[in-house]
Chain A
Amino acid sequence: MFDWIAGLAAWELLALEPPGWGGVLLKGLAVSLQVAVGGYLLGFLIGVGGATGKLYGGPILRDLLDVYTTLVRAVPELVLILLLYYAGTDALNQIMILFGAERVDISGLAAGIFVIGVVQGAYQTEVLRGAFKAVPHGETEAARAYGMSPLQVLRRITLPGMLPHAVPGLSNLWLIATKDTALLAVVGVAELTLVTRQAGGTTKSYFLFFCAAGLLYLMVTLLSNVVIRRIERYARRGMPAVR
């Protein structure tokens, strides 16, 4: 009857060397973090472009960007990941064939980064757009009146002014990105959640492994929070404290 307690505390299964699965889990964590960082950075590029387009683009560009952000935010990430995963790899292969090249096998890692990036891009567009708009118009006008070039206005006024408004949203999106990587398990990317399930399936110690993986994810979140708090303090320097 107390077999399950023995199964729960089979710590040797977490050993880093091959009979244990600890090394496999850590490798999965590394893949998850790579996808999260890559997807987040790709999303940031899309977000900067999207926010600029939404604020200063022509009417057609603005409408298309609205369609992009609305669609991505209305459809579950899981469905988007499936769609973009198949559509993305398919499209790339079509292009390769068009140029007379061989079909390529796209690594799960690259496809995952692409998918997370497209999803993050939609949310970051909205966050950055809001932060841009939060900078008082008078400040940029004053800077221009002092004869600053547009780049100087951006560097000296707009970016420092928008940072405190962008940091909370962007840090929230980073935490979401780390957790969204788990969804890539569904398309077979060997990230932390999928390798955990494989480890559990092989050893039948599901509970132990899922708790261990949960702790790893939690550590990522808590460490991120420490860094985020530091960035936030820097971004808000000279401003009245909140909360």
Chain B
Amino acid sequence: MIPETRRWNEPHRLVLMAIAIAIVLFAAYNMRWDWLPRYSGKLVSGVGTTLWLLFLTSVLGFLLAVPLGLAQAAGPVWLSAPARAFCTVIRGTPLLLQLWLLYYGLGSLFAYWPEIRQSWAWPYLRSAWPYGVLALTMSFAGYEGEVMRGAFAGVPKGELEAARAYGMSPWTSFRRIWLPRAIHRALPTLAGETVLQLKATPLVATITVVDVYAIISRVRQDTYLTYEPLLLLALIYMLLTGVLVLAFRWLEAKVPVKGG
């Protein structure tokens, strides 16, 4: 097998980079970018919405994934069966369908209920944001719950027995040993799941949440351009993915791996 020693300044790479730069310059000069200044403010706020959505749903989803994983790994059957069913359904159907089921389906059901229509919650339930957050949170919880199940089950029995032998109550040993060890084991998958979650966020634009994808869609409608806005959008998501990957690499370097 060919050894994987590669440097950035090998001759063929310099040529490839020159070609790439030429393509970018060609695109910059020959395509239409005059709409960019008009929409730059909206684009920034759209990116902000996307990132906020990503952060919120990942954190909420992870908080939900811990009990889901625990119920499947160690719960009695009346807890583990529903948890397993939840993960199977979430992982077995497309996110777009779940999103539309919640927004159109649940939204139209709520409309039948006069009690809900007259309550304080109605203005929120009529907007798209809660449904987008709910769908993305459940999706993250479903996928990560499966990971946490494996992580909880994979913590060596001896460590838990040692905790009991030291006289820790079940709750203390869970808090001090089981949960931290399980999270530690699940950490490497977290980066990948978060990138997948970032790539799932543009779906909420189909239910009128105004994220960066929705802004670009509006640019396409206003200017009748096909490629320029989409290429910019792809570039934005590539940058966000890159930053996310680097951030997680930094985070993983901070977490001690001794004995892991």
Contact = CB atoms under 8 A, between A and B. Distances in A.
Contact of B12 (A59, A80, A179, A213): A59
Contact of A211 (B94, B101, B198, B234): B101
A207 B103 CA distance: 10
Contacts of A56: 2
Interface stretch (B72-80, B104-112, B179-187): B104-112
Interface residue tally on B, bucketed by range: 35 or more
Contacts of B199: 75-78
Contacts, number: 131
Contacts of B158: none
A68 interface: no
Counting chain A CB atoms within 10 Å of each CB, the highest count among B89, B96, B200, B233 belongs to B96
Contact of B96 (A185, A200, A206, A222): A185
Contact of B97 (A71, A79, A193): A193
B200 A76 contact: yes
Contacts of A64: 16
A112 to B, nearest CB: 14
Interface in A209-231: 210-211, 213-214, 217-218, 221-222
Given A75-B234, A218-B93, A222-B92, A3 B105 contact: no
A181 to B, nearest CB: 8
Contacts of B92: 175, 217-218, 221-222
A125 interface: no
A60 interface: yes
B191 interface: no
Interface stretch (B31-39, B122-130, B223-231, B249-257): B223-231
Most buried by A among B13, B92, B98, B201: B92
Contact of A214 (B6, B89, B231): B89
Interface of A: 1, 3-4, 7-8, 55-56, 59-60, 63-64, 71, 74-80, 82-83, 86-87, 90, 133, 137, 175, 179-183, 185-186, 193, 196-197, 200, 204, 206-207, 210-211, 213-214, 217-218, 221-222
Given A4-B109, A87-B227, A206-B108, 15 more contacts: A3-B112, A4-B113, A59-B13, A60-B16, A76-B199, A78-B199, A181-B94, A186-B96, A197-B100, A206-B101, A206-B104, A210-B97, A210-B100, A210-B101, A214-B97
